[in-house]
Amino acid sequence: MQKIDYIAKEENLSGEYEINYFSFKNKLHRLIWGGVYIIFFKYSPVPMFGYRNFILSLFGARLGKNVRIYPSAKIWMPRNLTIGNNSSIGPRALIYNQGSIYIGNDSIISQDVTICASTHDYNKRDHPLILKNVEIGNRVWLCAESFVGPGVQVFDGAVLGARAVAKRNLSSWSVYDGNPCNKLKERVNNE
């Protein structure tokens, strides 16, 4: 897992990072990003994908060519986001990336999808935040209203059906559905 340098952390045995507190620098960055998101990003015209990509890159996002992010998509922390070429994030998608989220090439994150890269340790009294990075491979399709949980890897070519919940890794070139998701069948790789 990648160490996040702008917040205090403590590595535990599983390689996850517990957040003890948020630094002033982190809070300030989030405040500035929130204002820029509301004023310049959220209400921008839909076809202005390059404009939104530019704004995200100013805040540290690493974006490939021809990335399409809709204005109503909510990205929690741009600097924890990496997206490959020709991928898209649809309307009202929530990219809750306190931990890092990587999205490969030619992948589709459909409308109202949630990708969450953090959780809490509910066994501890103060419920500390734990970052768990999420990796989405190439040619993946996360269908409408699906959920990808902390620490999940979605391998190349996988499909997660509408409203399905992924709390474990998804095999390559497979189709999943349900809550929790189950493998339905193999997907044909036409390359």
Q: Tell me the domains of the chain and their CATH numbers.
A: 17-185 (2.160.10.10)
| Beta carbons within 10 angstroms of residue 191's beta carbon | 5
What six digits make up the tokens of 126? 């103060």
Phi-psi region of 15 (alpha: psi -120 to 50; beta: other; left: phi over 0): left
Query: pLDDT at position 16, please?
Result: 56
What six digits make up the tokens of 74? 């909510």
Say yes or no to pLDDT of 11 above 90: no
Tell me the H-state helices in the chain: 24-36, 49-58
Say yes or no to pLDDT of 25 above 50: yes
pLDDT (tens digit, 9 = 90+) per residue, 148-176?
A: 999 999 999 999 999 999 999 999 999 99
DSSP-assigned letter for residue 60: T
Residue 77, amino acid: M
More confident residue, 84 or 122: 84
pLDDT (tens digit, 9 = 90+) per residue, 41-96?
A: 999 999 999 999 999 999 999 999 999 999 999 999 999 999 999 999 999 999 99
Query: pLDDT at position 1, please?
Result: 35
